[in-house]
């Protein structure tokens, strides 16, 4: 106390001599401020195991350490280097202050430093600031004395070791030990290492030992510290001599490496929301964030994306993204926002732009799933049949006189005339066949007659699509993927179907801990909401499983089979600007986009969504699931099987979808239905007419019948058969008019669902005419696959 009083008196006398007593004391911060505001600490982002550091967000790279964890060797080295009287002084060195003041007043060089004590250095950086003036130095001295009276010497040292800057973005001694020596345990520091660290705060930039030009200065400063340690009796001459002889070896300047970059930035966005929207809390809070990332699957994803994009350069494919999630929990397991995060220069890549989470891209035919799921909700079944015939949904075009598209790709004779990708039209097809072959015209008919635009948008939102959709802007082109969406949303939406109709939102974080290890947030009781009937989800999945089954789909199955039950839908947009593949197993859902960041079209030569994203999806899923059990979806009790008139093989077409085959029905296959929706109508579309077995083709809407009749005419002329059938077809004006059909002669072995009674043939239930919306703006109508 006596020493503190004398020091304070000397300081105040000097202050009075220059007439600033009131200015110095009147607005001084409180010494309690030294420890009141928490130090900025690095927030560290880990993978789901907590063992792989992905990145750390920080204003100042710092990790707090307790005084008891700081080795005495480092304490002794620091005191010898910076303040040999630390344990006994009142917080200031009076002679040093006088010399500094004199130098400021006279402009003379004293040849000696300002003799700032450890306490003064702490006050300067933590409270007072770096202004170079007599006033600042006097305020610093007064506060240093007050701090000494407020805190113990050990507390002051702890604050110093955690706060002081050591260079190379390292704040605090623990960050410095890691930056220079790669050591996280301070107890492992050697004498030369401790001496080097102790000397750095004097001038961290010019003493930086990681820079070759600074090595001599760093070695001289280390030698100075070692000599002072010998003088102070905390090191022997022999120890110091051995330390002098050791070369300075560092791990090099720390490089802020980032792993899974786009995923990490999604983590930052979610973390800020968890912390109440406070961005500064992310960079200052010192949180430990355990994420959902499966580091092994992330490496698989990055490699597969890179390899497949490289292999497709010849088809002008330069970028891709991938999102992989657990559909049961919404946890994102792998996330690739672009093929190369470091590639900033190539406009086709724009690597730092996150296509997966931020890119608004057309999904093509992958969007059809929402139409078909809505149609199932509104009474259609997997066996419901529409006619795949070239159709103008505005009714303007005369069949056979379609005209040629103009420069913008619009057909002057048509209001809305979508094309099938293969430019083939296969007549009566069931929903399953239409999905399996990704046919465009049937998709539009299911949207117009069964699903409806508004209800399909509602289904998409419920399943996980977050982008706003204006029904008036997209019209019937909605089902072909004219609406832009985010890949992560599409992946999440398909995951809802995989999860038996229960939606779980995506998350990038599983747990957040504060610097004391307390859990402040955990992804545990996450929201689960049923948005789709379990039976409908199961039937939708069963249909999409055909796409990965070579025995069911000759178009896609050989490209996308992964050796286990899996569902998949692909999509290709207009001019091949975007290609999509989204598919799932019970435990993993993955979405893939391919294209170019600048929307440059890919080559349409020998290229398809199955070849590009389909095969990338296949290879990733095979590898990512290699150590996982083979699972399938358990069929709900609400779903039953019935035999319907439908082509059972890889090709669709030429089926009625009715439940009872007749003696004239050329084929039948099993189909799944929600209990109570199985068709009760006997097959009456195959009949004896025109001298042979004929298929009667009736479209569902009168406005479309003339286009179906044209298909009939061309089919009988051999233009629409594609080598797939030999019987005749008859339309509304054919050689035989539809009549009531008597009970057919059933083939041997025909079975019926439990409780089935053969009914009279009912009249078709009339449906309201569809609302037709003209084409969307030029260039927005996608092509399928």
Distances 536 to 44, 108, 206, 256, 379 between C-alpha atoms, Å: 43, 88, 70, 49, 11
Average pLDDT over residues 609-633: 92
Q: Please report the pLDDT score of residue 126 as a whole number.
A: 66
pLDDT tens, residue by residue, 669-681: 889 999 999 888 7
Average pLDDT over residues 79-103: 80
Most confident of 3-12, 341-350, 753-762: 341-350
- The answer to whether 96 touches 116, Cβ cutoff 8 Å, is yes
pLDDT band for 766, please (50, 70, 90 cuts).
Answer: very low
Which is it for the CA torsion 538, 542, 543, 547, positive or negative? Answer: positive
Average pLDDT, the chain: 83
pLDDT band for 637, please (50, 70, 90 cuts).
Answer: very high
Q: Strands 692-696 and 728-730: what pairing?
A: parallel
CA atoms of 781 and 476, how far apart (whole Å): 10
The larger pLDDT score, comparing residue 413 to residue 292, is at: 292
Nearest Cα residue to 505 out of 514, 497, 513, 496: 496
Span of 20-24, 225-229, 495-499 with lowest mean pLDDT: 20-24
What does the angle CA 637 – CA 639 – CA 642 come to, to the nearest 5 degrees? 130
Q: Please report the pLDDT score of residue 718 as a whole number.
A: 76
Average pLDDT over residues 432-436: 91
Q: Please report the pLDDT score of residue 576 as a whole number.
A: 86
Q: Please report the pLDDT score of residue 568 as a whole number.
A: 96
Q: Please report the pLDDT score of residue 128 as a whole number.
A: 56
**Residue 143 C-beta-side C-alpha neighbours within 13 Å:** 30
φ/ψ of 212, rounded to 5, equals: -55, -40
% of the chain residues with pLDDT over 90: 54
pLDDT tens, residue by residue, 571-611: 998 778 999 999 999 999 999 999 999 999 888 766 666 77
Average pLDDT over residues 694-701: 79
The larger pLDDT score, comparing residue 388 to residue 688, is at: 388
Whole-structure pTM value: 0.81
The larger pLDDT score, comparing residue 184 to residue 47, is at: 47
The larger pLDDT score, comparing residue 257 to residue 629, is at: 629
Distances 702 to 44, 95, 707 between C-alpha atoms, Å: 64, 104, 10
Does position 165 have pLDDT exceeding 80, yes or no?
Answer: yes
CA atoms of 385 and 482, how far apart (whole Å): 24
Contacts of 188 (CB under 8 A, 6+ apart): none
Which residues on neighbouring strands pair with residue 331, listed in sequence order? 507
Average pLDDT over residues 303-327: 95
Residue whose entry in the numeric block shows the structure tokens 């600074």: 214
φ/ψ of 697, rounded to 5, equals: -105, 110
Residue 76: count of CB within 10 angstroms of its CB: 20
Does position 123 have pLDDT exceeding 90, yes or no?
Answer: no
Average pLDDT over residues 419-439: 89
Span of 241-250, 320-329, 380-389, 656-665 with lowest mean pLDDT: 656-665
- The answer to whether 279 touches 43, Cβ cutoff 8 Å, is no
Q: Please report the pLDDT score of residue 60 as a whole number.
A: 85
The one-character DSSP state at 466 is -
With b for 16 or more beta-carbon neighbours within 10 A and e for fewer, the 184-197 pattern comes to: eebeebebbbbbbb
pLDDT band for 478, please (50, 70, 90 cuts).
Answer: very high
Q: Please report the pLDDT score of residue 680 as a whole number.
A: 81
pLDDT tens, residue by residue, 501-559: 999 999 999 999 999 899 999 999 899 999 999 999 999 999 999 999 887 776 776 77
Q: Which two tokens stand for residue 239?
A: 């120890």
Does position 22 have pLDDT exceeding 70, yes or no?
Answer: no
**Residue 275 C-beta-side C-alpha neighbours within 13 Å:** 24
Does position 199 have pLDDT exceeding 50, yes or no?
Answer: yes
Span of 97-101, 231-235, 679-683 with lowest mean pLDDT: 97-101
Q: Please report the pLDDT score of residue 240 as a whole number.
A: 94
Q: Please report the pLDDT score of residue 603 as a whole number.
A: 83
Largest CA distance in the chain: 125
φ/ψ of 173, rounded to 5, equals: -70, -30
Q: Please report the pLDDT score of residue 769 as a whole number.
A: 36
Does position 648 have pLDDT exceeding 70, yes or no?
Answer: no
pLDDT band for 112, please (50, 70, 90 cuts).
Answer: very low
Q: Which two tokens stand for residue 498?
A: 């995989």
% of the chain residues with pLDDT over 70: 79
Does position 570 have pLDDT exceeding 90, yes or no?
Answer: yes
Is 105 buried (19+), middle (13-18) or exposed (0-12) by CB count in 10 A? exposed
Query: Angle formed by the axes of helices 487-498 and 453-463, to 10°?
Result: 90
With b for 16 or more beta-carbon neighbours within 10 A and e for fewer, the 517-527 pattern comes to: eeeebebeeee
Q: Please report the pLDDT score of residue 132 as a whole number.
A: 56
Most confident of 297-301, 480-484, 543-547: 297-301
- The answer to whether 127 touches 163, Cβ cutoff 8 Å, is no
Nearest Cα residue to 170 out of 363, 41, 303, 343: 41
CA atoms of 690 and 314, how far apart (whole Å): 52
Most confident of 43-52, 163-172, 548-557: 43-52
CA atoms of 515 and 288, how far apart (whole Å): 7
């Amino acid at each position: 106390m006596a020493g503190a009083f004398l020091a304070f008196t000397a300081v105040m006398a000097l202050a009075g001599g220059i007439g600033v007593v009131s200015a110095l004391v009147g607005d001084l911060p409180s010494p309690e401020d030294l420890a009141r505001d928490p130090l900025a600490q690095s927030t560290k982002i880990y993978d789901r195991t907590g063992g792989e550091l992905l990145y750390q967000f920080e204003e100042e790279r710092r990790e707090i350490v307790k005084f008891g964890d700081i080795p005495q060797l480092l304490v002794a080295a620091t005191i010898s280097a910076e303040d040999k009287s630390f344990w006994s002084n009142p917080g200031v060195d009076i002679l040093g202050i006088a010399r500094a003041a004199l130098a400021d007043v006279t402009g003379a060089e004293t040849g000696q430093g300002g003799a700032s004590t450890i306490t003064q250095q702490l006050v300067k950086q933590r409270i007072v600031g770096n202004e170079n003036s007599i006033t600042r130095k006097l305020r610093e001295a007064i506060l240093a004395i007050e701090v000494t009276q407020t805190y113990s010497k050990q507390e002051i040292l702890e604050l110093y070791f955690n706060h002081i800057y050591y260079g190379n973005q390292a704040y605090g001694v623990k960050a410095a030990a890691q930056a220079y020596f790669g050591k996280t345990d301070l107890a492992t520091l050697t004498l030369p290492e401790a001496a080097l660290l102790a000397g750095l705060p004097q001038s961290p930039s010019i003493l930086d030992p990681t820079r070759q030009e600074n090595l001599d200065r760093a070695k001289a400063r280390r030698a100075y510290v070692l000599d002072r340690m010998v003088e102070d009796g905390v090191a022997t001459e022999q120890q110091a001599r051995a330390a002098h002889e050791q070369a300075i070896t560092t791990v090099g300047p720390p490089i802020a490496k980032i792993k899974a970059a786009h995923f990490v930035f999604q983590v930052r966005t979610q973390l800020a929301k968890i912390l109440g929207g406070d961005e500064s809390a992310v960079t200052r809070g010192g949180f430990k964030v355990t994420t959902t990332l499966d580091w092994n699957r992330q490496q698989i994803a990055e490699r597969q994306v890179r390899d497949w994009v490289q292999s497709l350069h010849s088809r002008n494919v330069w970028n891709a993204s991938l999102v992989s999630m657990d559909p049961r929990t919404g946890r994102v397991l792998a996330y690739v926002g672009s093929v190369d995060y470091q590639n900033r220069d190539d406009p086709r890549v724009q690597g730092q732009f996150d296509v997966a989470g931020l890119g608004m891209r057309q999904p093509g035919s992958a969007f059809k799933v929402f139409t078909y799921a809505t149609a199932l909700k509104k009474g259609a079944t997997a066996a419901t049949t529409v006619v795949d015939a070239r159709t103008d949904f505005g009714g303007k075009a005369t069949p056979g006189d379609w005209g040629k598209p103009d420069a913008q790709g619009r057909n002057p004779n048509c209001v809305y005339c979508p094309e099938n990708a293969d430019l083939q039209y296969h007549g009566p097809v069931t929903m399953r066949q239409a999905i399996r072959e990704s046919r465009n015209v049937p998709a539009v008919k299911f949207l117009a007659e069964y699903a409806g635009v508004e209800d399909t948008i509602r289904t998409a939102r419920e399943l996980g699509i977050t982008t706003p959709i204006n029904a008036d802007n997209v019209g019937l082109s909605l089902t072909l993927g004219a609406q832009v969406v985010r890949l992560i949303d599409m992946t999440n939406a398909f995951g809802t179907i995989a999860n038996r109709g229960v939606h779980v939102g995506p998350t990038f974080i599983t747990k957040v801990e504060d610097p004391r290890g307390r859990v402040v947030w955990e992804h545990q009781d996450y929201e689960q909401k049923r948005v789709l009937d379990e039976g409908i989800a199961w039937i939708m999945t069963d249909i999409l499983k055909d796409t990965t089954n070579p025995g069911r789909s000759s178009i896609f199955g050989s490209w996308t089979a992964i050796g286990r039950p899996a569902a998949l839908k692909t999509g290709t947009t207009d001019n091949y600007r975007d290609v999509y593949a989204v598919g799932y197993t019970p435990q993993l859902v993955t979405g893939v986009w391919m294209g170019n960041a600048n929307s440059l079209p890919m080559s349409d030569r020998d290229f398809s969504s199955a070849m590009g994203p389909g095969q990338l999806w296949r290879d990733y899923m095979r590898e990512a699931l290699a150590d996982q059990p083979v699972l399938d979806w358990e069929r709900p009790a609400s779903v039953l099987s019935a035999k319907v008139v439908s082509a059972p093989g890889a090709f669709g077409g030429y089926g009625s979808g009715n439940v009872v085959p007749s003696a004239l029905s050329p084929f039948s296959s099993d189909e799944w239905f929600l209990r109570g929706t199985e068709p009760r109508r006997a097959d009456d579309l195959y009949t004896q007419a025109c001298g042979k077995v004929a298929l009667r083709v009736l479209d569902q809407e009168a406005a479309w019948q003339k286009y179906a009749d044209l298909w009939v005419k061309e089919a009988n002329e051999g233009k629409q058969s594609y080598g797939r059938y030999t019987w005749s077809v008859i339309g509304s004006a054919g050689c035989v008019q539809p009549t009531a059909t008597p009970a057919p002669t059933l083939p041997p072995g025909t079975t019926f669902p439990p409780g089935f009674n053969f009914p009279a043939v009912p009249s078709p239930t009339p449906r309201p005419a569809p609302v037709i919306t003209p084409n969307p703006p030029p260039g927005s109508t996608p092509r399928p696959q």
